[in-house]
Structure 1
Amino acid sequence: MLSTFALHPAASKHIIARAVVKLPEVQQALKNGRIIVGSGTTNINVLEQLLNISLEDKSRGVAGVITQKVSCITDPDNRYGNWCIENGKLIEADWLDFLDGFKPGDVFIKGANAVDPTGDVGVLVANSQGGTIGQAIGALRARGIIPIFPVGLEKMIPSCKQAEKVMGIYKDEYNLGIKVGFIALSNTQLITEIEALKILFGIDAIQVAAGGVGGMEGSVVLAADCESEAQAKDLLNLVKKANRISPLKINKRKCSECNLPCYFREKN
């Protein structure tokens, strides 16, 4: 039984987060292990659903952000930073020290800025040391821990590896927004809307369209193969609920507080 529907980005983030939380390895680490949840709009959903909490100021849970006409960052002095969870409890810890104690079975959840048809993911990095993923990936690879990347299909690009080849903070000479590099990663656990529906409902789905207007900008249209009318109704009820979620309003760092080169600040 074919079921088609559109999801706007905030709805996708909610559904993807539900699937991440349901993963057996995430549940096991939540009960008896360590989890790091990186900052980001999708990961805010993951954290809130994982711990059954609601962040008072969600804007503090974001570092890099594409908003107000540019790709930029939030105020570094007003961020929560990466979240550390041990045995089901959110703890105050330096995330790099916390990561140093990771063992097989512990979980690292990181947001992404891009995904491609091969399943590679891409992360924009404004920090010349590589940001969170640049500092974490060596320890994760060495310990055999596969990072989980929740990412919506709105972020689909042709090739993350090709993007990595051309990008670089010091290559970027004339820019609107902050200068960024790009890190492409293979061999991750990717959770898009398609994987999310498989995890939540056991449903196979494909993307058939994208885009929208009037609040549905950045939407993806999916076609799902449901086993029954009841399953289709359960799915569409979740979609209807998710599409009622409003997008997050995140402000970038004020231009007046930034001394980095950026054409956006110049008057023309």
Structure 2
Amino acid sequence: MQRALVTLTPSESKRLIAKAIVALEEVQHALENGFVYIATGTTAAYVAEEILREKIEKEKWTVGTISKGRTCVTAKKTWPKHLVLYKGKPYEGEPLEALKEMGPDDVYIKGANAIDQNWNVAVFAAAPDGGTIGRTFGWTITKGVITITPISLEKFTPTPVEVSAKLTGIYSFDWGTGLYAALVPIPHAIPVTEVEAYEILANVDAIPIASGGAGGAEGSVTLVLEGDEEDMEKAKEITKAVKGEPPLKPYTEEDCSICPFAKVCGIGTGVF
């Protein structure tokens, strides 16, 4: 039995988790035989890169974002389209049409903003129609679509997400430091954190023991890895492969006057 101490920055964790998701048997099966639907988001962007094997502007591959110390959105002109693959190739129809065809052998991948002590996850939604999760949730849960949530333990919260959900909503706040949003639980999601990633990729145990940092290590997760010598060697190589992943650049809409969410934002409404 070997043991290692590993610290991963948020971007390194995202890359690790993305590699693990692509390696999942369910994802590989869907890539060969059916649909893989990747909803936009910065963490999901890493999954898209691993599947497409090409670089994308990950900071802009989202609408809602927590950036520059606030909840916010990206510029509307950059809002991306969800990536849908059918048998490994881009789906020619609209994403909603793919959702109508998807079933229990297909995969839906959606990042999130919170994971609690019970490994339940939830995602922010600021659009009145529920945003991405509001438009896709019904299709995925009723038809048993495999829902996978890539999420780093930097997003761990001690508050159960079902409690947090009752405290939030776009009209629930009197003031705030950014965009108001609802936290929406995704009860049927299968979360993939650093813990699952190391198990999937190297068959080693990863035990989170600390978090945070400074000087570029803000949001980091520190883990103890344990496993047999051969598996730990795999874990070492995987860790080397993700170390040095550059951080995402801060990116938000700069002009509140043209932001479609200004009326549900502490900054946009001028109350903060």
In 2: Cα distance, 1:185 partner to 1:251 partner: 26
Letter in 1 for 2:197: A
**Relative to 1, partners in 2 of residues 1:139 and 1:263: Cα closer, same or farther, differing over 3 Å?**
closer
Q: How far does the alpha carbon of each residue in 1:177-197 deviate from its partner, in whole angstroms, 9 at most, with x for none?
A: 111011012232110000000
Counterpart in the other structure of 1:226: 227
Name the stretch that deviates more: 230-239 or 104-113: 230-239
Report the CA distance between 1:267 and its aligned residue. 9.5
Give the Cα separation in 2 of the matches to 1:213 and 1:176. 22
Q: TM-score, normalised by structure 2?
A: 0.92
1:19 aligns to what? Answer: 20
Partner of 1:81: 81
Task: Choose the corresponding residue for 1:260, options 240, 263, 267.
Answer: 263
The 3-state SS of whatever aligns with 1:216 is: coil
Aligned residue number for residue 171 of structure 1: 172
Q: Deviations over 1:89-144 (max 9, x none)?
A: 12343211211111220110000000011010010001111111112111112111
Equivalent residues of 2:32, 2:88 under 8 A apart: yes
CA distance in 1, matches of 2:220, 2:210: 8
Structure 1 residue runs of 5 or longer lacking an equivalent are none
**CA shift digits 1:136-174 (9 cap, x unpaired):** 111112111231001000000111111001111111221
SS of residue matched to 2:139: helix
User: Structure 1 residues 245-254 or 145-154, which shifts more?
Assistant: 245-254
Alignment of 1:95-114 (within 5 A): 95-114=95-114
Distance 2:17 2:91 in 1: 24
Instruction: Report which stretch shifted further, 14-23 or 186-195.
Output: 186-195
Distance 1:102 1:243 in 2: 36
Aligned to 1:4, the other structure's residue is in SS state: strand
Secondary structure in 2 aligned to 1:36? strand
In structure 2, the residue matched to 1:50 is 51
User: Match of 2:138?
Assistant: 138
Q: Give the superposed CA RMSD.
A: 1.7
SS in 2 for 1:112: coil
1:157 aligns with 2:160: no
Q: Distance in 2 between matches of 1:126 and 1:29?
A: 30
Count of aligned pairs between the two proteins: 266
Q: Say which SS state the counterpart of residue 264 (structure 1) adopts.
A: coil
Give TM-score scaled by structure 1 length. Answer: 0.93
Change (3 A) 1:40 1:212: same
* 2:45 aligned with 1:37: no
Range that drifts further, 68-77 or 158-167: 68-77
**In the alignment, what sits opposite 1:7?**
8
Give 1:240 deviation, angstroms.
3.3
Structure 1 stretch displaced more, 17-26 or 69-78: 69-78
**In structure 1, what is the equivalent of residue 93 of structure 2?**
93
Structure 2: any 5+ residue segments left out of the alignment? none
**Same amino acid, percent of matched pairs:** 34
Q: Which residue does 1:72 correspond to in 2?
A: 72
Matched residue SS, 1:172: coil
Offset at residue 71 of structure 1 (A): 0.7
Contact 1:119/1:186, CA 8 A, preserved across alignment: no
Change beyond 3 A, Cα 1:93–1:252? farther
Corresponding residue number in structure 2 for 1:180: 181
Q: Identify if the C-alpha distance between structure 1 residues 186 and 263 changes in structure 2 by more than 3 Å, giving closer, same or farther.
A: closer
